[in-house]
């Protein structure tokens, strides 16, 4: 669960500030609702909230609502949904992050920060040099959900089940361009490339494993009409650093980059 409160609306009093943001997949509307035992534990035992306090419930379909805690019990928390704080809104640039799985701590950090940077979908793909054999999808979804709660997103990125690189390319939607982060230096500098592109269209960033893509994998990728090799600069970047650097550069050029201030200490 996220640990940052929703920013106070200009016309709201301090007493009305939501004490936490909680992602709620079910439909949100005024009236009574309930949260499960895990959410109740977080609100009651971690945040030490009590009945009468307000939290924010949100999802991409319905927006964000203020909800007042009415009671706790063994099964969960009971709340009364009140006014809407934020209407549904466009989800920003349509960007996916496709990556070779890496060691757990670095992978979890990557998922957290990719969520903050607006990735809509996260897709692990196995390559010849991938050293990680298993990905805990439920754990990654939990991390992405918490990051969405903290970063004030209304949506949570989808976590696609892992696939081999060749299988992923075989089912790839032809209208979504792939930015292949090519560690061999075989592409144009990412910023220069993006400056001339229509970033309102669907895009994806592809990051290879530690040690990079195998030569035949690079040949396969470069042979696809929807793949665009790009370069991230002269320094050797760790896989998770490369993923986040590429996402940050993409978002700097994306159509919604100046939609509103998006940097806040939490």
Residue 162: per-residue pLDDT? 97
Residue 255: per-residue pLDDT? 78
Can you name the residues that pair with 229 across neighbouring β-strands?
180
Where are the extended beta strands (E) located within the chain? Answer: 21-23, 31-35, 54-59, 63-73, 76-86, 95-99, 121-126, 158-159, 163-164, 177-181, 188-189, 203-207, 227-231
Q: How far apart are CA 205 and CA 238, in angstroms?
A: 15
Residue 91: per-residue pLDDT? 79
Residue 260: per-residue pLDDT? 56
Can you name the residues that pair with 123 across neighbouring β-strands?
98
Residue 92: per-residue pLDDT? 87
| DSSP three-state, residue 95 | strand
Ordered mean pLDDT values, 10 residues apiece, the chain (266 residues): 42 64 95 95 95 96 97 95 93 94 96 97 97 94 96 96 97 96 89 94 96 94 96 91 96 77 43
DSSP state of 233: -
35, two tokens: 């949260």
226, two tokens: 């929807």
Q: Are 130 and 157 in contact (CB under 8 A)?
A: no
| DSSP three-state, residue 195 | coil
90, two tokens: 């466009």
Can you name the residues that pair with 207 across neighbouring β-strands?
99
Can you name the residues that pair with 121 across neighbouring β-strands?
96, 158
Q: How far apart are CA 83 and CA 31, in angstroms?
A: 10
Q: What does the chain come to in residues?
A: 266
Residue 2: per-residue pLDDT? 44
Q: Are 102 and 124 in contact (CB under 8 A)?
A: no
């Amino acid at each position: 669960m996220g640990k940052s409160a929703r920013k106070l609306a200009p016309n709201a009093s301090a007493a009305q500030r939501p004490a936490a943001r909680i992602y709620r997949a079910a439909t949100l509307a005024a009236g009574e609702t309930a949260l499960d035992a895990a959410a109740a534990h977080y609100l009651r035992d971690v945040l030490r909230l009590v009945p009468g306090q307000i939290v924010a419930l949100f999802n991409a379909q319905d927006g964000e609502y203020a909800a007042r805690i009415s009671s706790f019990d063994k099964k969960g928390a009971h709340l009364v949904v009140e006014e809407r704080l934020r209407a549904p809104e466009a989800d920003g640039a349509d960007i996916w992050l496709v990556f070779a799985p890496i060691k757990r701590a670095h992978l979890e950090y990557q998922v957290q920060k990719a969520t903050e940077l607006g990735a809509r979908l996260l897709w692990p793909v196995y390559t010849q040099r991938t050293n990680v054999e298993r990905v805990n999808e439920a754990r990654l979804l939990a991390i992405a959900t918490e990051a969405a709660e903290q970063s004030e997103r209304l949506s949570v990125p989808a976590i696609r089940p892992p696939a081999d690189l060749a299988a992923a390319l075989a089912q790839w939607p032809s209208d979504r361009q792939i930015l292949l982060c090519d560690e061999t230096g075989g592409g144009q500098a990412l910023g220069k490339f993006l400056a001339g592109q229509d970033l309102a269209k669907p895009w994806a960033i592809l990051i290879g494993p530690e040690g990079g893509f195998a030569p035949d994998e690079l040949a396969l990728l470069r042979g696809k009409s929807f793949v665009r090799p790009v370069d991230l600069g002269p320094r050797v970047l760790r896989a998770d650093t490369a993923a986040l650097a590429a996402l940050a550069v993409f978002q700097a050029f994306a159509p919604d980059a100046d939609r509103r201030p998006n940097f806040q200490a939490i």
